[in-house]
């Protein structure tokens, strides 16, 4: 463990007023009871369900089945609690800002565990499970900037008897509401909540890059790998499976993020316990 902590502290300590960007994927939430999407753990979501379920096309073809799948998925997501890795990431943010540096967390996860742990400088680039929105672009509750709290809608009647007539509808235009997430057949620029301009700015200005629990299978990770390599910025990936480095120059730490990140915080003098 000490060698893993050394790798992190050697990257983070010299930053001072520099820009630290942390990119997290589903792996950081596994110990909170949320399975990954494409990871190696036995419960990986896309090992059980074809990726066509996570598309706007599928929602339009079968909104009832789309809602049933997401409700079964999100029940565990919204009941989960942050683990020590989430708390440590929030601590790194406070530590970096306190010494005059910049910090941004970009999470691919739709759970609320990072914000529950205290993260504030954050982009949820794939949306969030605790909100829904109108599928009609231009509606006050739809893209490019509208959404609604999930808790404002009672889905109990739909769960008891799945039927199109019982799905939540937009209070402004009457359309059946959709999940406030980025689907596989959509683009990062389609909703302002994904903050794609902020993500791109971070990619070209960061001074150090830390990946935690990501499988490097989506566009946002490729963006950061490309720019970090081109600008020769130090890059570390924490992966308990010890997967091969996604590109030259990335140092892989084979360890559990909920163990190595708190240890690194302690070495840096960044209080992480809630």
Q: What's the CA gap between 264 and 267, in Å, rounded?
A: 5
The position carrying tokens 């999470």 is: 107
For residue 274, give both structure tokens.
């809630």
Instruction: Let me know if 126 is a catalytic residue.
Output: yes
Asked if 236 contacts 7 with a C-beta cutoff of 8 angstroms, the reply is: yes
Asked if 82 contacts 30 with a C-beta cutoff of 8 angstroms, the reply is: no
Beta bridge partners of 178: 133
Cis peptide before 144 (omega within 30 of 0): yes
DSSP state of 134: B
Report in angstroms the alpha-carbon separations of 221 from 23, 39, 75, 199: 8, 15, 27, 11
Instruction: State the catalytic residue, choosing from 114, 126, 141, 180.
Output: 126
CA 67 to chain centre: 21
Q: Per 3-state DSSP, what percentage of the chain is helix, strand, and coil (rounded to 5)?
A: 45, 15, 40
Tally: H helices and E strands in the chain:
10, 9
Report in angstroms the alpha-carbon separations of 163 from 101, 135, 139, 140, 148: 51, 18, 24, 25, 21
Closest C-alpha among 172, 116, 178, 164 to residue 141: 172
Q: What's the CA gap between 204 and 224, in Å, rounded?
A: 8
Q: Which residues are catalytic?
A: 126
């Amino acid at each position: 463990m000490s060698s893993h902590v050394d790798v992190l502290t050697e990257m983070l300590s010299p930053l001072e007023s520099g820009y630290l960007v942390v990119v997290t994927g589903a792996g950081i939430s596994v110990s909170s009871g949320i399975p990954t999407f494409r990871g190696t753990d036995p419960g990986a979501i896309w090992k059980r369900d074809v990726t066509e379920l996570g598309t706007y096309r599928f929602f339009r073809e079968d909104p009832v089945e789309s809602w049933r799948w997401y409700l079964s998925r999100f029940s565990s997501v919204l009941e989960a609690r942050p683990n020590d890795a989430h708390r440590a990431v929030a601590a790194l943010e406070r530590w970096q800002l306190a010494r005059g540096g910049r910090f941004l967390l970009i999470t691919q996860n739709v759970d609320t565990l990072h914000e529950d742990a205290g993260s504030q400088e954050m982009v949820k680039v794939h949306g969030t499970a605790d909100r829904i929105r109108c599928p009609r672009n231009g509606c006050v509750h739809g893209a490019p900037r509208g959404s609604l709290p999930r808790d404002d809608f009672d889905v109990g009647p739909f769960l008891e008897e799945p039927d199109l007539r019982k799905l939540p509808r937009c209070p402004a235009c009457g359309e059946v509401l959709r999940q406030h997430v980025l689907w596989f057949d959509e683009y990062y620029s389609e909703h302002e909540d994904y903050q794609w301009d902020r993500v791109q700015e971070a990619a070209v200005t960061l001074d150090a890059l830390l990946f935690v629990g990501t499988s490097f299978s989506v566009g946002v990770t490729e963006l950061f790998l490309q720019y970090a390599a081109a600008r020769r910025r130090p890059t570390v990936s924490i992966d308990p499976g010890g997967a091969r480095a996604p590109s030259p120059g990335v140092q892989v730490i084979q360890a559990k993020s909920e163990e190595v990140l708190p240890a690194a915080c302690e070495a840096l003098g960044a209080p992480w316990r809630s």
